[in-house]
Chain A
Amino acid sequence: MISGKYRKIIFTLLVLILLGTIMIAGSLGSARISFSDVIKIIISPITPVGVENNVIKETSRIIIWKIRMPRIVLTVIAGMGLGVSGAVFQGIFRNPMANPYILGISSGAAFGVTLGMTMGLQITFLGIGAIPISAFIGAVGASVIVYLISGGGRDILPLLLSGIAIGFFLSAMMSLLMYFNRSQLENIVYWTMGSFNASSWQKAAITAPVILPGILFLIIFARDLNLMVLGEDSASSLGIPVRKSRLIFLLISTIITASAVAVSGVIGFVGLIVPHAMRIITGPDHRTLIPYSMMGGAILLLVSDTIARTIIAPTEIPVGIVTSLLGAPFFLFLLNRMRHPK
């Protein structure tokens, strides 16, 4: 755990690592663009038009602004959301092993997408297609059902168990739908693996105003989460309206997670590992842990997505596969470290 004065330094370091990763991600791909060109192209809207800009190929400019940057921005926002909501869910459930999908968000989203695809849903909203919409509705719907049938979050354990039960139920429903609609099988399975290959500025523009203010709110209320970790009665006796706070935390982190899942599919392990790894650096104080998890989530997901689209180019592998392949061994390493400290 780090002491106060290093907190800002390491956070700044994480910001720099993220910026570096953005440059690398912008540079890598089927068309290799040099770092300096990436930087010039990215800062060109804010620099006065000069001679220098003209030497950069117009195709590079288009690749960066039309293809890579929307994807990078969306990946960063989703990664921030998953990292933060993971930290919050772990706090609410007082369990460092909890993750953002604990209330059935992932199976709800997958069921929603399956239902939408098999019904041939053709809706759009603010330039967003049927798949993200049905994923978002499925994710939020599943969480709401879990919350209501577990007695309105009166206790944590029924919430946890209801989440597992609803998760299994929706997965079975999804399998049933898939079984009878085999023509859609590939699309559905591919979606559940998670990918950012359908990124667009529209998606980024609609996700950012949901996820980023959500994160800000969670940072502001992070101290309440510290107290809730101590148990309901302790938190209440320290002046926290526990049930109300818990509902607000669950609601906001559910919407954040659902937004991330809607634009990218089910990406595992980010929400579990990032807060876990960051807690080793920051300790359990959520006022520090949440901003750190935001940066950690963005870095991990952007690195994973860059690997996913470049490692066996031109073929792209789903980013969910990369995060789990990288994440699982790292997670086992952390577990092992916990069992045998030092």
Chain B
Amino acid sequence: MREKNVVQTKNLDWTYNGTKVLDDVSITIKPGTFTGILGPNGAGKTTLLKLILNLLDNEKDSVLITGKDIKTYSRKALAKIEAYVPQSVKIDFNFTVEQVVLMGRTPFLGRFDRESNEDIKIAEWAMQETGVLKLRGKLITHLSGGELQRVVIARALTQEPAILALDEPTSHLDIHHQINILSIIRSLAKRKNLTIVAVLHDVNHALEYCDNIFLLDQGKIVNSGSPEKVITPKVMKEVYNLNVNITKNPFTGNPYMLHDYA
């Protein structure tokens, strides 16, 4: 992935049942960066994420992945580049953790192939990274929310993707697991030159972890750039109608947002 922009959208529009969900959205994402998509509920964050995964039908040439129109990729070819961690995963069938993680190798397997030892090694690596290796034999239906989320991330890593797209990866998790998961992801981005695109709700998480933020409101990009540039008292008042103060986190030295409760 030596291309300059690993993900790019050009004047992307998306209409659902007559309502414009995304309006002229143009973004560019550079390889190896951690990009946050922020915005109030209903701003179109998940829609944008799904469009850059080709999970929704969009127009030709409006989404480019590593410089090529996303429509020119087969599903299988795209699955070797992009992996997806959906907002909530509900599995009623009692697969083991290892079985679910190994499913990440599917795009690399032929119709009659079974997973090879090499595939299992990759899955083990992913489970090691996300701290679920010791759960490999456990049933997926018996996991806690945090464990399940880490298993789903491990499955995505097993795809060995260049781009990892996550939709609110920390919702339903306690504060410890929120930080744990975001730190795992950030560390992967740095060490593996993995491009992260994550829909985030917690502004302070975005300030701490993101290299770049796209702030969406009513389907439009209202601000983009580095966290300190995007998250300002003025913008937060406009978009969230919230009075905020940006200070510095004494632990990390990164910006930290305080807000009133009026």
Contacts and interface: CB of A to CB of B under 8 A. Distances in A.
B91 A230 contact: yes
Interface string A209-235: 000000000001101001101110110
Contacts of A285: 95, 99
Contact of A238 (B74, B89, B159): B159
A279 B77 CA distance: 32
Interface residues of A, number: 24
Interface string A178-193: 0000000000000000
Contact of B89 (A230, A236, A284): A230
B93 A239 contact: no
B91 A229 contact: yes
Given A237-B82, A237-B84, A241-B75, A231 B93 contact: no
Interface string B62-103: 000000000000111111101110100111111110011001
A299 to B, nearest CB: 23
A95 interface: yes
B103 A239 contact: no
B91 A236 contact: no
B55 A94 contact: no
Given A223-B106, A227-B106, A236 B93 contact: no
Contact of A239 (B90, B95, B107): B107
Interface in B98-130: 99-100, 103-104, 106-107, 109, 111-112
A152 interface: no
Interface string A305-338: 0000000000000000000000000000000000
B221 interface: no
Contact of A234 (B50, B75, B86): B86
B38 interface: no
A239 B111 contact: no
A229 B106 CA distance: 14
A231 B96 contact: no
B86 A94 contact: no
Interface string A82-104: 00000000000011100000000
Contacts of A284: 93-95
A240 interface: yes
B181 interface: no
A283 B109 CA distance: 21
Nearest to A229: B93
B94 A239 contact: no
B112 A94 contact: no
A225 to B, nearest CB: 10
B6 interface: no
B106 A237 contact: no
28 contacts: A1-B96, A95-B92, A96-B93, A220-B111, A221-B111, A223-B109, A226-B95, A226-B99, A226-B103, A231-B89, A233-B50, A233-B53, A233-B55, A233-B86, A234-B89, A237-B53, A237-B83, A238-B79, A238-B104, A238-B107, A239-B75, A239-B76, A239-B77, A239-B78, A240-B75, A240-B106, A284-B94, A284-B95
- Closest 4 A-B residue pairs measured CB to CB? A239-B79, A237-B84, A284-B93, A239-B76
